[in-house]
Structure 1
Amino acid sequence: MEIQGKIKLIDETKTFGNNGFRKRELVITTEEQYPQHIMIEFVQDKCDLLNNYTVGQDVKISINLRGREWTNPQGEVKYFNSIQGWRIEAIQEDNTTGQMPPVPPMEAFAPADDINEEEHDDLPF
């Protein structure tokens, strides 16, 4: 899955436990009618992917949805979801999308007064 938006926050890398588990969180704001602030976590070696990005940048992030079950000390079963990022790329905003450039208004063109109707070109059609 992929999600696109503007980076709102990039947190520092945090290390947990004796095994050195690393996690870094990023928040993006989607650009739709009702923008959403989505927190995406990057874990272990994927934390370093965020080093080259800054707040305000438009990005596309490849994500996986993760879910887990946990039983609390009282015996109640709880479920948790997370969104994990595994790839991130900047979205370039350029005008190379194949669109024609805008046409200047008619007033920008001078009238052609020097047309000679009797001159013919030598094209065969």
Structure 2
Amino acid sequence: MELTGTVKKLFDIQTFPSGFQKREMILLTQEQYPQPISIEFLSDKISLLDNVSEGENIKVSINIRGREWTTPQGDVKYFNSITAWKIEKDASTSFNEPTQVAPIQQGQATATTDTDVFGNSDEDDLPF
């Protein structure tokens, strides 16, 4: 599976008492409602982040992992993690570079209209 987006945040390497190491990155997806996705780089895959900077557009090959945990009270909980195994740099513009917006042509509808299709009077534009 692959995710494409802009590197929003790179974290420092974490080393655990067992010697295990990981490094996390936040990838902001490029879609109608961009999502900040936390991606882990484990052990030898940490070096994939050596040539990556915040603001760069990249494509990350990932695996989704799940695990089950039973609490001391006997409740079963499930956790997911996203781990990366490959990065490709995207040649398109980076996060910090400005983009040019196409001008609205005469007769073309604008995004702001007075009609409320759903009958809601509040101005909340969140998708949920």
Using structure 2 for the length normalisation, give the TM-score.
Answer: 0.70
Task: For 1:72 and 1:88, locate their aligned partners in 2 and report how far apart those are by CA, in whole Å.
Answer: 36
1:7-62 Cα distance to aligned partner (Å, 9 max, x none): 000101101132x1111000011111111111100111111110110000000000
Identity in percent: 54
Find the counterpart in structure 1 of residue 12 from structure 2: 12
Answer with 1 or 2: which has the greater Rg: 1
Partner amino acid for 2:52?
Y
Task: For 1:16 and 1:71, locate their aligned partners in 2 and report how far apart those are by CA, in whole Å.
Answer: 22
Q: Which structure shows the bigger proportion of residues in helix conformation?
A: 1
Find the counterpart in structure 2 of residue 68 from structure 1: 67
Using structure 1 for the length normalisation, give the TM-score.
Answer: 0.71
For structure 1, list consecutive stretches of 5 or more residues without a partner in the other structure. 95-125
In the TM superposition, what are the counterparts of 1:1-125 in structure 2 within 5 Å? Answer: 1-18=1-18, 20-93=19-92
Determine helix, strand or coil for the equivalent of 1:75.
coil
For structure 2, list consecutive stretches of 5 or more residues without a partner in the other structure. 94-128
Determine helix, strand or coil for the equivalent of 1:52.
coil
Give the C-alpha shift of residue 93 in structure 1: 2.4
Task: For 1:51 and 1:24, locate their aligned partners in 2 and report how far apart those are by CA, in whole Å.
Answer: 11
Task: For 2:15 and 2:59, locate their aligned partners in 1 and report how far apart those are by CA, in whole Å.
Answer: 26
Tell me the number of residue pairs that the alignment of Structure 1 and Structure 2 aligns. 93
After the TM superposition, list the runs of 4 or more consecutive aligned residues in structure 1 that deviate by more than 3 angstroms: none
1:75-99 Cα distance to aligned partner (Å, 9 max, x none): 21110001111111101128xxxxx
| Farther-moved stretch of structure 1 (85-94 vs 59-68) | 85-94
